[in-house]
Amino acid sequence: MSLFRKPQPLAVLVVRDAPDVAAALRSALEAAPDAERPGLERALALAEESAGRPDGELRGRWVRQRLDAAGHQGPADSVEAIKILRQAEPGLTLLQAVTYAKEAAAAEA
């Protein structure tokens, strides 16, 4: 193992399909009868809100889901939480787990 190896990219990808969902909802809203409009308008608002969230917040939510599934209720950036996260997702490096845990803690603050 070399001390000078390239850092690995973050392993968790944030898939952003909310803009596509919002576009589909806008199209449906244009042709919707009056009875369906309130529901479609609410769905569109939720999709647009989701599309505006930063990647770090989404990764933080992903971390919290893993920690909750393991029964961890403490801080997301604790040593115990990082250990749980790496056990839940064995492919994560220590650096990745720490980075994600910090994002989760920031999102919770």
**What is the model's pLDDT at position 90?**
86
What is the spatial distance between Cα 88 and Cα 41, in angstroms, rounded to a whole number? Answer: 38
Sign of the CA dihedral with 26 first, then 20, 18, and 56 last: negative
Model pTM?
0.65
**What is the model's pLDDT at position 33?**
95
Task: Please state, as a whole number, how many other Cβ atoms lie within 10 Å of the Cβ of residue 71.
Answer: 7
pLDDT single digits (tens) 9-40: 555 555 677 788 889 999 999 999 999 999 99
Question: Which position has the higher pLDDT, 98 or 91?
Answer: 98
pLDDT single digits (tens) 65-92: 999 999 999 999 999 999 999 999 888 8
